[in-house]
Amino acid sequence: MIDFDRVTITYPDAARPALSDVSLSIPEGEMTLVIGGTGSGKSTLLNCVNGLVPHFTGGTFSGRVTVDGRDTRDHPPRDLADVVGMVRQDPQAGFVTDVVEDELAYTMESLAIEPMVMRRRVEETLDLLGLADLRQRALRTLSGGQRQRVAIGSVLTTHPKVLVLDEPTSALDPQAAEEVLAAIQRLVFDLGLTVLVSEHRLERVVQFADRIVLIGDAGQVSDFADPSEAMLTAPVAPPVVQLGRWAGWRPLPLSVRDARRSAEPLRTRLKDSPAPQDCDGGATASHPQDSSATDQPPVAQLHHVTVRRGDLLALRDVNLAFRPGEIVAVMGRNGAGKSTALATIAGSLVPSSGSAEVLGRDPASLAGTDLLRKVAMVPQEPQLLLWAESIGAECHAADKDARAQPGTARELLDWLLPGLSDQTHPGDLSEGSRLMLVLAIMLSAKPKILLLDEPTRGLDYEAKARLSDRLRKMAKSGVAIILATHDVEIVAGLCSRVALLADGEVVADELARRAVTASPAFAPQVAKILSPLPFLTVAEVRAAAGEAGP
């Protein structure tokens, strides 16, 4: 169905090819998972399939890519639209209408599909992806996860032979991610759809893959027909695989179910081991924090806050307080009000009733450098904050705006994601790389409060570890860190507290260990594998069992 024949792609001014001498054949009716580090070239490989590379990306292209017998050099994306459906990392950038139902129908209209067929397919897709309640909603009012489902639906309505998904679950809550992946699996099994998917949250998708394509740091590609074989040595691996490697389980489990079958001896060994303990500040042995945090007055608060966004009641009488040195996760389903809560703290949304307070002031009254030094926010779409022609120019402007020493932002970026050139245009970066650039820009002002909306989107496990390390250091220095996230693994390894939202209301505000184990939907993989033991991460297991292993 998809064939790469000695494909090499080099972008202008790049130090090395994005893809190097790639030969690859993807058969019909399989789900192929593309993995690799942040910025390794996964999106480039996906863009080859629908013709964006080479027709719209520039650079040098050699070799040949064919999809269902069509050579992409001779067929631009418009000539492949009936065969290839693609959902990119930023779904909002691809929307062309204003309403959910219209967006689902738009591509079919472009392909001149009959009206009655269009109507039936729209209804099928609304049910398949759980979008029926949103059919008349304006796209601009949707949460990031809801937009992601609409983008996937707008592609599925055309019934393509090939479905290409770039980070399809990155903005979805655990339940929605399971529903989307289950729907894709049905299409693969029942209709023979060929799916090519790139995803950093491998814990969600690796067990569904029929084959794995691994992209190395130099753009070379390895193809594995057996996903377990790929995971034995892959540089990126989910917690279930990391635990299986350390424990020596064979065959290597890719799912929680398979891991539990192998884990009984490990559970027996750990049964009498000292359990990780929460300290006064809510930290655990795997992520210690200053235990005096809870003794200090809040630096950010929401007092009986209600926020209306048009006809939508986004927050309802919310009371939350955040103290210096805390790392707090705001969790909940897509559309629960997480991003609205962060935007209210940042001052970009004004409550309909109640009040927000940041360091004793109304955040809406802050501006300029005063705002940067008090509260910084990295949104779900970090590219909205980038305007310069190069990374170097962005970092220079950030230092100037924050009145920081020259080179401050660049040094932070090198810590978070080393190896990026000053001359690279921010628009050429991957989603994860852009996020790290914006984070470095924000941190250059040394804010007292840091707000992060889906901060691990587009990041591999190594990049997430570097980010976690930096956030721990900031919390230790007294910065209050609040992150809205669906990434249960980052919460398990980093956060001290969880505020759980549902339909705009706070339904729980408790220690992270208790919150992530109270519901199977929010439990990390290690907790599911070793339940009822109280371990959340591989690091905690290794500390309890000893580095020598079982």
HEC assignment per residue over 133-169: HHCCCEHHHCCHHHHHHHHHHHHHCCCCCEEEEECCC
The reported pLDDT for the residue numbered 147 is 84
Burial class (CB in 10 A: 0-12, 13-18, 19+), 297: exposed
Average pLDDT, the chain: 88
Pairing status of strand 60-67 against strand 70-71:
antiparallel
The reported pLDDT for the residue numbered 550 is 54
Instruction: Give residue 61's Cα distance to chain centre.
Output: 29
Residues 6+ apart with CB under 8 A from 307: 313, 314, 315, 337, 340, 344, 349, 351, 352, 504
Alpha carbon of 261 to those of 125, 270, 355, 529: distances in Å?
36, 16, 51, 9
The reported pLDDT for the residue numbered 277 is 61
Rounded distance between C-alpha atoms, residue 201 and residue 198, angstroms: 9
Structure tokens given for 252: 């290597």
Burial class (CB in 10 A: 0-12, 13-18, 19+), 401: middle
* Residues in the chain, pLDDT under 70: 277-294, 547-550
**Contact indicator for 7, 62 with CB cutoff of 8 Å:** yes
The reported pLDDT for the residue numbered 549 is 56
The reported pLDDT for the residue numbered 211 is 95
For 343-365, b/e burial (b = at least 16 CB within 10 A) is bbbbbebebeebebbbeeeebbe
Rounded distance between C-alpha atoms, residue 205 and residue 81, angstroms: 26
Predicted TM-score (pTM) of this structure: 0.85
The reported pLDDT for the residue numbered 183 is 81
The per-residue pLDDT for range 126-172, each reduced to its tens digit, is 988 888 999 999 998 887 778 888 998 998 898 899 999 998 888 78
Q: Residue 538: CA atoms inside 13 Å, Cβ hemisphere, count?
A: 18
